[in-house]
Amino acid sequence: MKKVLVVGGGITGLSAAHRLQRLAAESAEDIKITLIESEDRLGGKIRTLQEDGFIMETGADSIVTRHEGIRTLVDELGLGDRIVHNATGISYLYRDGRLHAIPADTVFGIPMSEESLMNSTLISEEGKRAALKDFETSDHEFTRDSPVGAFLREFLGDELVERQVAPVLSGVYSGSIDSLTLGSTLPYLLEYKNGYGSIIKGLGANRAKFEAQSNKKFLSFDGGLSVLIDALEEAMPDVEFLKGTRAEHLQKTDAGYELETAGAGTLQADAVILALPDGQVRRILGEGAPEPLFGKFMNASILTMYLGYDLPDAELPADGTGFITAGDGQVVCNACTWTSRKWTHTSPDGRLLVRLFYKNSNPKFGDIKEMDRKSLIALARRDLEKTLGVTDEPVVVEVTPWYGLMPKYGLGHRAAVDELEHLLHRKYPGVRVAGAAFHGVGIGLCIEDGRGQAETVYKEFIKKQ
């Protein structure tokens, strides 16, 4: 019998274990799969809370639909009839004391046409003229490793980038546009500039693709994302789950690997999938984890707050689904999702539910981390009064901090992952790392990565033995 350990019961580890179970069943291989999770529940950052009729998520609120892995997994689990999609609408940017609609004909705030540029209320006439130079300037020396900020400023001008594009991109990728590479964020922009001579023209020529992606591009489930976690656990009767078991140290032996745990003794395995944050991988490998290498991995922090009200959702601006802020100090939050508008299943009776985001890039984040619950709620209420005019007292509040647990891909991230995987190949054959810390942020990418690592382990260390 072959033994595989999956360490980490978040969505990546669950996807890996589920895929291994199916591969074993399809091939009639005798494989013992054990999944270890330090918490008493599965799901990692994914956890759905229900209170007073509201549905709230402690982590991500949805899954990007374009990833093939999620559709495959949903079909395998028979969850197709429980899928819900986001409502589409206007996204706003709060700047200069009011909400500005981000032009619909944009990608991350970058115009897809000259008309979209001219319709923006965020950019001055001078800024618009500067952005039009994109149509005239084609020569450059930028590569996929170039900072996306420098690339965009070169052709679209400082004002458009700083006032409209940077707030959107920074919000999506949780980092400064000057520390993010083209290759890790928007590689197609480089292709468009090279192929069409213009970023705007390239986006316009590929409009159909982006419009298709923007229409219902996220999914959840009628009972929240925990529906997926519960279905995965239920679908794995042959997997041994060791909840409340902390992995301590992994050691290579002549027979394979031994994993020392707190709670389940020492476990043996032929192969191991570490579906964990980089810091936990480093701890488990111990002396086998070079400090300079793991020092290259970076993590950000975020605090989110849900506020639910005995107010009709119709109090919000028509056709809107939320706003991001410009970071100009007029309000403290970085963004606000109008959850009851964007996800109608979260408030079946149509009452107002919003979610505010406070990121560690926020100049006031140090103060926010020191606030107690009462102070945090007061802060959120001030932000909502300034931006939406909501002054009522909320009936439900949920505060969720994720400190140092949000992977952030810097300029050297890809090289660091390559170096780590080369190290594992040489010193720990049969051990794979998986998840958001290494191969892509977001539930969809984590699902695909977990399934992919499972297939690699099966082909290289189970089937061939």
Mean pLDDT throughout 187-199? 95
What would the pLDDT profile of 50-69 be if each residue is shown by its tens digit? Answer: 999 999 999 999 998 878 88
Reference 49, options 261, 226, 221, 314; nearest CA is 226
What is the fold, at CATH topology level, of the domain defined by 105-213?
protoporphyrinogen ix oxidase, domain 3 (1.10.3110)
pLDDT grade, residue 181 (50/70/90)? Answer: confident
And the tokens for 238? 């042959």
Say yes or no to pLDDT of 183 above 90. no
pLDDT confidence of residue 283: 97
d(CA 91, CA 210): 16
Rounded to the nearest angstrom, the gap between the alpha carbon of residue 272 and the centroid of all alpha carbons in its chain is: 25
What would the pLDDT profile of 331-348 be if each residue is shown by its tens digit? Answer: 999 999 999 999 999 999
Cα angle at 190 between 145 and 180, to 5 degrees?
Answer: 40
Coil, helix or strand at residue 422: helix
- Whether 298-408 and 2-44+227-296+412-463 are alike in CATH topology: the answer is no
CB atoms within 10 A of CB 204: 19
Burial class (CB in 10 A: 0-12, 13-18, 19+), 447: buried
67, 128, 181 from 186: Cα distances, Å: 16, 22, 8
Which residues 6+ apart lie within 8 Å of 457 measured at CB? 4, 20, 271, 273, 430, 432
Coil, helix or strand at residue 271: strand
Question: Mean pLDDT in the chain?
Answer: 93
Q: What is the pTM of this model?
A: 0.87
And the tokens for 7? 């360490």
Reference 338, options 351, 318, 354, 325; nearest CA is 354
Contact 455, 434 (CB under 8 A): no
Burial class (CB in 10 A: 0-12, 13-18, 19+), 17: buried
Mean pLDDT throughout 3-28? 96
Reference 384, options 307, 465, 291; nearest CA is 307
User: What is the CATH number that goes with domain 2-44+227-296+412-463?
Assistant: 3.50.50.60
Coil, helix or strand at residue 321: strand
What would the pLDDT profile of 86-119 be if each residue is shown by its tens digit? Answer: 988 888 999 889 999 888 889 999 999 999 999 9
d(CA 61, CA 79): 17
**How do strand 246-253 and strand 256-262 relate by DSSP bridges?**
antiparallel
Tokens 């500005």 appear where?
100
Reference 355, options 315, 306, 397, 309; nearest CA is 306
pLDDT confidence of residue 461: 83
Q: Which residue has the higher pLDDT, 355 or 412?
A: 355
Q: What percentage of the chain has pLDDT greater than the value 70? A: 98
The top-level CATH class assigned to 298-408 is alpha beta
pLDDT confidence of residue 90: 86
Mean pLDDT throughout 20-27? 94
**How do strand 218-221 and strand 63-64 relate by DSSP bridges?**
antiparallel
Domain ranges of the chain: 2-44+227-296+412-463, 105-213, 298-408
Say yes or no to pLDDT of 464 above 70. no
pLDDT confidence of residue 212: 66
And the tokens for 446? 């984590």
What would the pLDDT profile of 383-417 be if each residue is shown by its tens digit? Answer: 999 999 999 999 999 999 999 999 988 778 999 99
pLDDT confidence of residue 113: 95
Say yes or no to pLDDT of 214 above 70. no
